[in-house]
C-alpha cells in the first residue's frame, strides 16, 4: 500500500488553522437595515426571524446594535410613507432613506451604503415607471383592460433619470456608497455621471451587476413591501439559466465605472461568483438574500439544522467562491460568533 500522500496529516487540530485557505472577518460583512416611514415602533419581520422594520427615529439605535457586533457597514432599505406610479418619494429630500442616512452618518461611524431602486416606492411594485411593451405583437390591437398589465414593462430610460435623482439625494444625505439594484441598462453610467456632476465623485458605486430573477427574494419583498402587483421581474432581472450573460452584464457595469461588482443571490450562484472573481480584478460582493436566510431559519426551527453552523458554513463558502464582501442577514450573529471564537 503506497500512502505517501496522506492529506489527513494537515487536518490535525494544531495545523488546521495554518493551512486554512479562507478567513471570514466581521469587517467582510454588510448588514441590511430596514427603515420604515409608516410606523413609529419596531415591527418584527415574520419571514426573517431576528429582523425588524424600524422607524426613522430608531435607525441610529438599530445601526449601533450592528456596530456593537463588529460589523462596520450597513445597507439601508426604505419603506416610504406613500407610493405612486413614478416612485417620487424615492428621491425626496425628506424621504425615509435620506432622513435615516442623515442621522446615521451624523451620529455613528457606520459605513452607510444605500439601495437605489424604485420597487419599494412605486405603487405597482416594479423597479421603475411603466411603459407599454414595445416588442409586443401590434396585431393584438388595443388590449382589454384586464390584460393591459401583461403588456406593461419598466421604461428603462425614464428610470435612469429617476435613479440619477435618487443617487444624488442619497449622496447629499451623506451616503458613503451607492448601490443600484434595478438592473436597468446603463444605470451605472447614468448614476456615475450624476454623482460626478454634483460633486460626489468620491462616492463609490457598488452595482448589483448580475442580479437574477430569483424566487429567493420572497421574504424581502414582504419585509420591504416591494412585491410587484402584477407580473414578475424577468424583463429586467437575469434568467437563472444564464452564466455567460452574467459576464456580459458585469463587464458593462465595470466599463461604466462600477467600483464593486455584486452577484445576487449568493449560494445558488456561487459558480457566477467564482467566474466573476477570475475575470475581474474589482472587489466582488455577494448578496446572501432573504430566502437563503429564511430557509436555514425554518429548518433550524424544526430542529433539522444547527443554525450557527450552517450560517457560518454558508458565509465561508461564499468567501471561498471568491466574494470579498458579503451582504447578509446573518451579519450580526456571525460577527458575534467570530469575536467569541477568538
Ligand atoms: C430591489 C431589491 C430586492 C432585494 C434587494 N433589493 C428585491 C427584488 O429585486 O425583488 C432582495 C434582497 C433579498 O431578498 O434579501 N430593490
Is residue 232 in a domain? yes
Kindly state the helix (H) or strand (E) to which residue 168 belongs, with its residue range.
helix 156-172
The answer to whether the beta carbons of residues 130 and 154 sit under 8 Å apart is yes
Residue 150 domain flag: no
Q: Please count the structural domains in the chain.
A: 1
Residue 188 lies in a domain: yes
pLDDT of residue 151: 81
Q: With the CA atoms of 16, 22, 23 and 24 taken in that order, what torsion angle do they form, in degrees rounded to the nearest 10?
A: -130
- Is 9 part of a structural domain of the chain? no
Q: Decide if 149 contacts 230 (C-beta within 8 A).
A: yes
| Cα 35 to the center of its chain, rounded Å | 15
Measured distance CA(315)–CA(304) in Å, rounded: 19
Asked if residue 334 belongs to a domain, the reply is yes
Counting atoms of ligand 1 from 1, which one is nearest the CA of 218? Answer: 14
pLDDT value at position 135? 59
CA-nearest residue, atom 8 of ligand 1: 217
**Which contacts qualify for 99-103: CB closer than 8 Å, 24 or more apart?**
99/37, 99/56, 99/173, 100/35, 100/56, 100/59, 100/76, 101/76, 101/170, 101/173, 101/174, 101/175, 102/173, 102/174, 103/56, 103/59, 103/60
For cell 396585431, what's the residue? 139
* Atom 16, ligand 1: residue with shortest CA distance: 117
Q: Which atom of ligand 1 is nearest to the CA of 327?
A: 15
| CA torsion, ordered 287, 188, 123, 85, to nearest 10 deg | -170
289 Cα nearest atom in ligand 1: 15
Half-sphere exposure for 41 (CA within 13 Å, toward CB): 2
* pLDDT beneath 50: ranges in the chain: 138-145
Q: What local confidence, expressed as pLDDT, does residue 143 receive?
A: 47
Note the pLDDT of residue 148. Answer: 55
Cβ pair 248, 183 in contact under 8 A: no
| Residues flanking ligand 1, CB < 6 Å | 115, 117, 119, 181, 217, 220-221, 226, 289-290
**Domain with 260 in it:** 22-128+157-341
In a domain, residue 202? The reply is: yes
CATH of the domain at 103: 3.20.20.70
DSSP state of 258: -
Active site members: 211, 264
pLDDT number for residue 142 = 47
Quote the CA–CA distance of 243 and 275 in Å, as a whole number: 9
Residue 162 CA from chain centroid, whole number: 19
Smallest CA separation from ligand 1 atom 9, residue: 217
CB of 270 closer than 8 Å to CB of 317: yes
pTM: 0.94
Average pLDDT, the chain: 94
Any domain includes 176: yes
- Let me know if residue 228 belongs to a domain: yes
How many whole angstroms from 341 Cα to the centroid of ligand 1? 32
Q: Which cell numbers hold the place of 263?
A: 452577484
Residue nearest (by alpha carbon) to ligand 1 atom 11: 217
Amino acid at each position: 500500500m503506497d500512502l505517501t500522500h496522506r492529506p489527513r496529516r494537515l487536518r490535525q487540530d494544531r495545523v488546521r488553522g495554518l493551512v486554512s485557505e479562507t478567513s471570514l472577518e466581521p469587517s467582510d460583512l454588510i448588514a441590511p437595515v430596514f427603515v420604515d416611514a409608516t410606523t413609529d415602533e419596531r415591527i418584527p419581520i415574520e419571514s426573517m426571524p431576528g429582523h425588524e422594520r424600524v422607524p426613522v427615529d430608531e435607525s441610529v439605535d438599530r445601526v449601533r446594535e450592528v456596530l456593537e457586533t463588529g460589523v462596520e457597514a450597513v445597507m439601508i432599505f426604505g419603506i416610504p410613507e406613500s407610493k405612486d406610479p413614478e416612485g417620487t418619494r424615492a428621491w425626496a429630500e425628506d424621504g425615509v432613506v435620506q432622513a435615516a442616512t442623515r442621522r446615521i452618518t451624523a451620529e455613528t461611524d457606520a459605513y452607510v451604503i444605500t439601495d437605489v431602486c424604485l420597487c419599494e416606492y412605486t405603487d405597482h411594485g416594479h423597479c421603475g415607471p411603466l411603459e407599454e411593451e414595445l416588442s409586443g405583437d401590434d396585431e393584438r390591437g388595443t388590449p382589454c383592460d384586464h390584460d393591459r398589465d401583461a403588456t406593461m414593462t419598466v421604461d428603462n430610460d425614464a428610470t435612469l433619470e429617476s435613479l440619477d435623482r435618487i443617487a444624488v439625494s442619497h449622496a447629499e444625505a451623506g451616503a458613503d456608497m451607492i448601490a443600484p439594484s434595478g438592473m436597468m441598462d446603463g444605470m451605472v453610467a447614468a448614476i456615475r455621471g450624476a454623482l460626478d456632476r454634483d460633486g460626489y465623485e468620491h462616492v463609490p458605486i457598488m452595482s448589483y451587476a448580475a442580479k437574477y430573477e430569483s424566487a429567493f427574494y420572497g421574504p424581502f419583498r414582504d419585509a420591504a413591501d416591494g412585491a410587484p402587483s402584477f407580473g414578475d421581474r424577468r424583463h429586467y432581472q437575469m434568467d437563472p439559466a444564464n452564466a455567460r450573460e452574467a459576464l456580459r452584464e458585469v463587464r458593462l457595469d465595470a466599463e461604466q465605472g462600477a467600483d464593486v461588482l455584486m452577484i445576487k443571490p449568493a449560494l445558488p450562484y456561487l459558480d457566477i461568483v467564482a467566474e466573476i472573481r477570475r475575470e475581474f480584478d474589482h472587489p466582488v460582493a455577494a448578496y446572501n438574500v432573504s430566502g437563503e436566510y429564511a430557509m436555514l431559519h425554518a429548518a433550524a426551527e424544526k430542529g433539522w439544522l444547527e443554525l450557527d453552523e450552517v450560517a457560518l458554513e454558508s458565509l465561508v463558502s461564499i468567501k471561498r467562491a471568491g466574494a470579498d464582501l458579503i451582504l447578509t442577514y446573518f451579519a450580526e450573529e456571525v460577527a458575534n460568533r467570530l469575536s467569541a471564537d477568538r
